[in-house]
């Protein structure tokens, strides 16, 4: 007789199942669910992410080895490779996108009071795109180049907690700058971007909406200084100017003045220039904001290293997007667990512990708040850590 819940079931208790059922009802289909429900599918795929499974057969073998415990994991249907493959390919991937977005809303609320390295009350986002390379023969729908396939994850993260606030999964042909058309500008917020997002017409729409941006100009961007402000060069600043664009089309695309800040980084021996439409913050804060953009790069590296989004269990578009969105939801779910239980250990350590203990019955807060785990984290400062 089981006394207490298995660790996997304790983690899944943090899922808002009523929200999950609403997401399922939003996208009805004719694919049968009596023998293998949407929740069964989600739990099996979440198990695969938490235990680093490599294939559908791997998932099937591991779960069937604990067949007597599947009911206590919350899995009611028959776990078979064919059932999971059909579910991933034929069920609407938008179910798991909507559910992941619902978890993101909850996580952002939990992390809203966190600091992110710059003393600023405004919401600050970092926007970037990562490419996941695929085989053109196996994934012919994911067009990228003549001999190559890929999918892209266009991601905007909230720097308070490093929680993704917007994600769009596309084939490889979609240029990253087009993502600015999909994001609803938030008045008063800052969006930090690299030069790949430089499109003055789109940036002007952010300005008109009352949102701010910090972005690197391209080497061929033409502009003229209107006037300069004094800067303290001992801080690394080199100039703080008000400029106007002088290119062929850019003055029409962005008719207002811009602010141009130049910062010299002694560590990398690089001179970095930034455009922004905010004229109120100190120039050094503008440079510090751009430095925080590295958090989105860490996010991409982290999920590629610790979640299964580079090797896919299915080959059609629905299977790939289902796996990506469930991986994102698992990432956000673990972040929610960490915050709600007040766990000091890093997200990396939490995932490693969960991968080995999902079938145990230790109370989750006791398992993750062990002081030995905290000392382990402190001895590994080089490990990628999105949650300090």
Q: What is the pLDDT of residues 223-275, one digit of tens each?
A: 999 999 999 999 999 999 999 999 899 999 999 999 999 999 888 889 999 99
The pLDDT tens digits of the residues spanning 57-111 come to 999 999 999 888 888 888 988 899 999 999 999 999 999 999 999 999 999 999 9
**Percent above pLDDT 90 for the chain:** 67
- The answer to whether residue 381 scores a pLDDT higher than 50 is no
The string of DSSP codes covering 216-230 is PPPTT--EEEEEEE-
pLDDT band at 125 (very low <50, low <70, confident <90, very high): very high
Instruction: Supply the pLDDT for residue 374.
Output: 52
pLDDT over 50 at 387, yes or no: no
Q: How far apart are CA 162 and CA 70, in angstroms?
A: 33
Which pLDDT value is given to residue 3? 60
The candidate with the shortest Cα–Cα distance to 283, out of 272, 294, 293, is 272
Average pLDDT value for residue range 323-329: 95
* pLDDT at position 379 over 80: no
Which residues lie across from 128 on neighbouring strands? Answer: 155
Average pLDDT, the chain: 89
360: tokens are: 């145990």
Does residue 40 have a pLDDT over 70? yes
Q: How confident is the model at residue 388 (pLDDT cuts 50, 70, 90)?
A: very low
Q: What is the distance between the terminal CA atoms of the chain, rounded to a whole angstrom?
A: 40
* Domains of the chain, first to last: 7-96+313-378 (no CATH), 115-298 (3.90.350.10)
- 382 pLDDT exceeds 80? no
Q: Which residues contact 385 (CB under 8 A, 6 or more apart)?
A: 346, 347, 348, 377
Confidence (pLDDT) at 371: 45
Per-residue pLDDT of 140-156, as tens digits, reads 999 898 888 999 999 99
Backbone angles phi, psi at 20, to 5 degrees: -60, -45
Share of the chain above pLDDT 70, in %: 94
Position 191 pLDDT exceeds 60 = yes
HSE-up of 353 (CA within 13 Å, CB side)?
A: 25
pTM for this model (two decimals): 0.88
Predicted confidence band of residue 380 (pLDDT cuts 50, 70, 90): low
Residue 204: pLDDT above 80? yes
pLDDT at 244: 96
Q: Is the pLDDT of residue 375 over 60?
A: no
Q: Is the pLDDT of residue 9 over 70?
A: yes
Position 173 pLDDT exceeds 80: yes
- Using the predicted structure, report yes or no on whether residue 17 has a pLDDT greater than 60: yes
Q: Residue 5, Cβ neighbours under 10 Å: how many?
A: 18
- pLDDT for 58: 93
The H-or-E segment that residue 84 falls in is: helix 81-90
Q: Which of 158-167, 202-211, 286-295 ranks highest by mean pLDDT? A: 202-211
Q: Is 85 or 117 the better-scoring residue by pLDDT? A: 85
**Average pLDDT estimate for 165-183:** 93
Query: Which is higher by pLDDT, 24 or 308?
Result: 24
Number of other CB atoms surrounding residue 267 within 10 Å = 6
pLDDT-derived band at 201 (thresholds 50, 70, 90) equals: very high
Per-residue pLDDT, 377? 53
Q: Where does the pLDDT of residue 311 fall: very low under 50, low under 70, confident under 90, or very high at 90 and above?
A: confident
């Amino acid at each position: 007789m089981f006394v207490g819940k298995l660790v996997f079931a304790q983690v899944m208790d943090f899922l808002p199942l009523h929200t999950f059922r609403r997401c399922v009802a939003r996208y009805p289909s004719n694919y049968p669910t009596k023998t293998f429900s949407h929740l069964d599918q989600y739990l099996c795929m979440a198990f695969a992410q938490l235990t680093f499974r490599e294939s559908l057969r791997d998932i099937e073998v591991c779960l069937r080895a604990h067949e007597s415990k599947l009911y206590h994991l919350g899995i009611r249907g028959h776990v078979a490779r064919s059932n999971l493959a059909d579910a991933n390919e034929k069920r609407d991937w938008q179910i798991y996108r909507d559910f992941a977005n619902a978890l993101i809303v909850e996580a952002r609320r939990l992390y809203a009071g966190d600091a992110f390295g710059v003393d600023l009350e405004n919401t600050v986002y970092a926007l970037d795109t990562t490419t996941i390379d695929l085989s053109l023969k196996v994934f012919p729908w994911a067009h990228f180049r003549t001999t190559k396939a890929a999918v892209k994850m266009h991601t905007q993260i909230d720097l308070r907690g490093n929680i993704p606030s917007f994600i769009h999964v596309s084939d490889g042909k979609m240029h990253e700058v087009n993502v600015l058309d999909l994001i609803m500008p938030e008045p008063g917020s800052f969006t930090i971007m690299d030069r790949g997002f430089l499109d003055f017409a789109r940036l002007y729409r952010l300005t008109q909406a009352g949102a701010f941006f910090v972005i690197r100009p391209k080497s061929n961007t033409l502009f003229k200084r209107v006037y300069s402000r004094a800067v303290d060069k001992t801080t690394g600043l080199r100039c703080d100017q008000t400029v106007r664009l002088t290119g062929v089309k850019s003055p029409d695309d962005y008719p207002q003045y811009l602010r141009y800040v130049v910062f010299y980084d002694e560590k990398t021996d690089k001179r970095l220039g930034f455009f922004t439409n905010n004229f109120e913050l100190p120039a050094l804060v503008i440079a510090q904001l751009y430095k925080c953009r590295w958090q989105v790069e860490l996010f991409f590296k982290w999920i590629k290293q610790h979640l299964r989004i580079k090797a896919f269990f299915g080959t059609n578009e629905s299977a790939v997007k289902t796996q990506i969105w469930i991986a994102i939801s698992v990432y956000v779910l673990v972040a929610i667990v960490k915050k709600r239980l007040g766990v000091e250990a890093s997200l990396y350590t939490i995932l490693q512990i969960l991968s080995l203990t999902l079938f145990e019955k230790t109370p989750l807060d006791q398992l993750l708040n062990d002081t030995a785990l905290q000392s382990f984290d402190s001895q590994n400062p080089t490990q990628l850590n999105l949650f300090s």
